[in-house]
Amino acid sequence: MADGGAAAILGDVAATQPQVSRREAAGTVVYESGGRPFVALTGARAEFRLRPEMVRAALRTPGTEASGRGPEWVAFEPPDELERYDIDRLRSWFEMAARLARG
């Protein structure tokens, strides 16, 4: 079930979130709220800043790994052909990360 790539999905979700800005640096799209980055997208690899317990749970998901950005970050690289659950993860993790960034 393809619904656009990760960039399109995250862009759509970002458009619905209050106080979210987007910037590009060195091939990475960074979403921020109040100057605090909470999602970084490089190619199809999306990294989300979540609570540590959420990161631990997320790391049990196929396609995820620890992020080099720190212990509050999880990296998710879905397959080229996105399934419904991949799309749901991208959306829900973006929304959660945005809420956490807003405080």
pTM (2 d.p.): 0.93
Domain boundaries, the chain: 6-102
Residue 98, C-beta contacts closer than 8 angstroms, at least 6 positions apart: 14, 17, 20, 31, 33, 38, 39
- For 36-89, the pLDDT digits (tens) are 999 999 999 999 999 999 999 999 999 999 999 999 999 999 988 899 999 999
User: 36-42 and 45-49: which strand pairing?
Assistant: antiparallel
Least confident of 4-8, 20-24, 43-47: 4-8
Top CATH class, 6-102: alpha beta
